[in-house]
Structure 1
Amino acid sequence: MVIGGGLTGIETSAEIAYHYPFLDVELVAPEVAAWLPDASRTRIARKLVDAGIVLRTGRRATAVHPDGVATDAGWLPSACTVWAGALAVPDLARRSGLPVAPDGRLRTDETLVCLGHPRIVGAGDAVAPPRHVAGHLRMSCQAAMPLGAHAADTVLALIRGERPVALSIGMVGQGVSLGRRDGFAQATHRDDTPRRFTLSGRAAALVKERVCRFTLSSMRFPRAYRWRSGATPTLPAPTPTTVR
């Protein structure tokens, strides 16, 4: 049994069903791919069912036990449970006395410099830049990688005594692996809202595999890494900060 209707839960259940077709695989979640348009959600759900996965939607897991899962709609027996639920933000920033958002993410300015602490730079899923530059960014390698690269550029600018530039990240799409020979891809605008174009089947699986390989190659050759730009705000003219 897999708990979670996000990308991790969807891909995990599909991979298990593909590699071990003799197992009974169930996916438990309030919804499957809830962030996608209705047509895309329906298509993904149909593919999961076609792969032999039982969808237990409309349920929220409340506790996991060695022999099953307790949900708000009753008990579900399970010989093996994989947790793929939502992530929580570490409390390091809050415990350090730094400014944080209500969910605990580190607050930064448009350049990823911590508010009120010019020597601290944040990046990744646990930071909360202003919404006008990062409100569209979701937890994903598509956002985390350019956030990390931009944070590195900000650190270098501060060391040189230069003015860091504002964050600018445009999203491209959302790829879902549904086993080795099937997948689904949803194209998006720069602000991550869905386009009309989707890709399905073997072609989508190849696109997803190419994205994964690109992620690895970007780590091997970081100087060649580039990302799609988004709308960049006009920054005020602050006094350059020098890190010594």
Structure 2
Amino acid sequence: MRLDDGGALDFDYLLYAVGSTAARGMTGSEHAWSIADLDGAESLRTRLRQLPAQAPVVIVGGGLTGIESAAEIAYRYPSLDIALVSRSVAAGLPASSRARIHDKLANAGVALHTGLRVTAIRAGGVDTDGGRLPSDCTVWAGSLAVPDLALRSGLPVAADGRLRTDDALVCLHHRRIVGVGDAVAPPAHVGAHLRMSCQAALPMGAHGADTVLAMIRGQQPSSVSIGMTGQAISLGRRDGFIQAAHRDDTPAAFALSGRAAAVVKERVCRFTVTSMRFPRAYRWLPGATPSVPVPPPVAA
């Protein structure tokens, strides 16, 4: 494995866990703040604190990151004019759930501009196919991308650059590399429902560790099996929305909102930290499909 400083490290097994980051293909993306990493979030906080009352702030992206960002900024900085622009908001949820989230964002003071496609980001605004929205602070919460490390390393990748693995998360053609998290593309029958999320990355990381241990012991690693439970959305500190899902991540009938949903969301976040402190106690929901046998490991 080559390092940036020109050196190299030998390895018996390598865990590929480079994660994801904000996609930056948009024209003028350098004018937007991103919360995809800690440095970006701290920079955004500094900028928001500098803005005068009534300054326009535009969040680009109607997924969960955009929804939570818009609601949190509106809660923390009520004097600012917050707008969210996207073709759709909470597109993966049922129509009734989308309507409730729209109402909650509006009640929080977030102006929704839906049905619009952002074409460019400028220093003082956001260009859309419906005109320009003024902005003193633009927050990019659009699509995610993965680092191109696997591609540059000559490893097998999917069309979006994610590392291709088998059912056990072992890299195809490189049997001493195990991939986990957002930057990995396991076969569709075990991973098609796994969206880029903490909910999928945590059990993938745990299973990847089990896979490495199995190969060290000369055992056949088991197929990954992860079931999803739903989507927990923060809408500020006192409100939230929980959309239950089946194990294949299709929406279920149950949904929870209000203060109770905010408490559930907080517990989800705290569980993430707790699970890292006590890894041996960590368990996850298995997937809806039965495990599929994988071939025994072969030395690279």
TM-score norm. by structure 2 comes to 0.78
Q: Which residue of the partner structure matches residue 233 of structure 1?
A: 291
Q: Is the 8 A contact 1:175 1:186 kept in 2?
A: yes
Cα distance, 1:43 vs structure 2:
0.7
Q: Which residue of the partner structure matches residue 52 of structure 1?
A: 109
Cα distance, 1:22 vs structure 2:
1.4
Spell out, residue by residue over 1:70-99, the C-alpha distance to the aligned partner (whole angstroms, 9 max, x if none). Answer: 122221110111111111122111121111
Structure number with higher relative contact order (C-alpha < 8 Å, ≥ 6 residues apart): 2
Letter in 1 for 2:133: L
Provide closer, same or farther for how the CA distance between residues 5 and 162 of structure 1 changes in structure 2, counting only shifts above 3 A. Answer: same
Matched, 1:62 2:116: no
Cα distance, 1:174 vs structure 2:
0.5
Q: Is the 8 A contact 1:166 1:232 kept in 2?
A: no
Matches within 5 A, 1:8-157: 8-157=65-214
Cα distance, 1:18 vs structure 2:
0.9
**Aligned residue among 215, 218, 233 for 2:272:** 215
Aligned-pair identity in percent equals 69
Once residues 240 and 105 of structure 1 are traced to their aligned partners in structure 2, the CA distance between those partners, rounded to angstroms, is 21
Structure 2: gaps (5+ residues): 1-57
Q: Which residue of the partner structure matches residue 40 of structure 2?
A: none
Letter in 2 for 1:66: A
Once residues 132 and 66 of structure 1 are traced to their aligned partners in structure 2, the CA distance between those partners, rounded to angstroms, is 44
Once residues 72 and 194 of structure 2 are traced to their aligned partners in structure 1, the CA distance between those partners, rounded to angstroms, is 26
Q: Is the 8 A contact 1:158 1:241 kept in 2?
A: no
Cα distance, 1:240 vs structure 2:
4.5
Once residues 136 and 205 of structure 2 are traced to their aligned partners in structure 1, the CA distance between those partners, rounded to angstroms, is 39
Once residues 196 and 157 of structure 2 are traced to their aligned partners in structure 1, the CA distance between those partners, rounded to angstroms, is 17
- Name the SS for the 1:13 alignment partner: helix
Q: Is the 8 A contact 2:227 2:286 kept in 1?
A: yes
Query: Which segment is superposed worse, 56-65 or 116-125?
Result: 56-65
Once residues 138 and 239 of structure 1 are traced to their aligned partners in structure 2, the CA distance between those partners, rounded to angstroms, is 27
RMSD over equivalenced CA pairs, Å:
1.3
Q: Is the 8 A contact 1:163 1:241 kept in 2?
A: no
Q: Which residue of the partner structure matches residue 172 of structure 1?
A: 229
- Name the SS for the 1:121 alignment partner: strand
Cα distance, 1:233 vs structure 2:
2.5
Spell out, residue by residue over 1:185-231, the C-alpha distance to the aligned partner (whole angstroms, 9 max, x if none). Answer: 00111101111000010010000000000001111111111110112
Spell out, residue by residue over 1:100-136, the C-alpha distance to the aligned partner (whole angstroms, 9 max, x if none). Answer: 1111111100000011111111111111111111111
Q: Which residue of the partner structure matches residue 2 of structure 1?
A: 59
Cα distance, 1:241 vs structure 2:
4.1
Once residues 155 and 117 of structure 2 are traced to their aligned partners in structure 1, the CA distance between those partners, rounded to angstroms, is 33
Query: Which segment is superposed worse, 227-236 or 83-92?
Result: 227-236
